[in-house]
Structure 1
Amino acid sequence: MTTDDRTPDELLDAIGPAFGKLRRGVLQEVENPISAKDSTRALVLGLVLGCSRDSGEEMTVGGIAASMCVDPSVASRMVTDSIKSGYLLRVPSQLDGRRAVLELSPQGEEFMRDFRRRQRAAFEYITAEWPEADRLDFARLMLRYVDAIEGLKDRENGNGLRAAIEDA
């Protein structure tokens, strides 16, 4: 059965498993693969980069742990790896000098530029046989989806997802 042959319910039921497949190393299956270690580093660096650019807030190891839903010791190991690799710096907080916060080093910024180029190349490789209009539509819809996820914290009912699951 192709995607086009599925009913609306079948399509919507297939979304969760499809997202699961995306998380399981799709960037390792392309022409110029991205290693699992680089993917993990990019997750950490992306959180630091997004926090400082988007909100002007500061990112800590605890913030990394909370954002990634991992134990603080796991986040600490990830951060330490990125620091040892030269991609992250631990610096004094500008808001509270007793705290250490994270920021990207120049090497970390270059790593992220390269990672983004590789992500785009992977997308183009995976969708090479798609019509250009489909590629751009998918990109627009994916960005819209991510924006909606970001907007969840602004919704009035903080239990919206929980309520939607219970209603299903």
Structure 2
Amino acid sequence: MYATSMDEPELTAIEQAMVRIRRGQTRRTLARVTVQEHGAEAVNAALFGVVDAVEEGPDGEVSVGLVAQRLGIDPSRASRLVARAVGAGYVRRAATQHDGRVSPLALTPAGKRYAEAVHRSRREHFDAAMRGWTAAERSEFARLLSRFVAGLPGADPRPIR
């Protein structure tokens, strides 16, 4: 057994809440955005993961390896997903003068529109979930959630915007 600064019921409540978020958020958001913004075109969560990873930037420096790292998958799977995102018209491979073997990835205009549509849908979803919260409560929640995420093992060291 290990010592913890939290009572077991608090850890259980946090775990259950995080599982509910993970189960519902991606599928629901992507399904809504796909229908609203892109007609009946089916775009799965893995493909949006590539768009999301490329959008994070930095511009001109996002490689398949970085996509793999951000998605927590092996490079060969990332390569296949990137190829699908390129085929769907959301991502393009950019040319580089420095190393012909490396093709930095960039979003196409369609990829940028798709990413913004997903962001807008997510924010609407979060706004609805926090309806009735004060500005101070939203601010405190953002601060604590950012701190929580930063403390997770393997967390991205960059500050959350």
**Normalization by structure 1: what TM-score?**
0.66
Secondary structure in 2 aligned to 1:33? helix
Equivalent position to 1:45, from 51, 64, 73: 51
What corresponds to 1:157 in structure 2? Answer: none
- Find the aligned partners of 2:51 and 2:97 in 1 and give their Cα distance: 19
More helix by share: 1
Letter in 1 for 2:55: L
- Counterpart amino acid of 2:109? P
In structure 2, what is the equivalent of residue 119 of structure 1? Answer: 122
Give the 3-state SS of the residue equivalent to 1:98 in structure 2: coil
1:92 equivalenced with 2:98 (yes/no): no
In the alignment of these two chains, the number of paired residues is: 142
- Equivalent residue, structure 2, for 1:151: 157
1:8-157 → structure 2 map (5 Å cutoff): 8-29=7-28, 33-34=32-33, 37-52=43-58, 58-147=61-150, 149-151=155-157
Alpha-carbon RMSD across the aligned residues, in angstroms, is 3.0
**Whole-Å Cα distance in 1 between the matches of residues 98 and 145 of structure 2?**
35
CA distance in 2, matches of 1:23, 1:94: 40
After TM superposition, the score normalised by the length of structure 2 is 0.68
- What is the identity percentage for the equivalent residue pairs of Structure 1 and Structure 2? 31
The answer for unaligned runs of 5 or more in structure 2 is 1-5, 35-41
Q: Distance in 1 between matches of 2:63 and 2:131?
A: 39
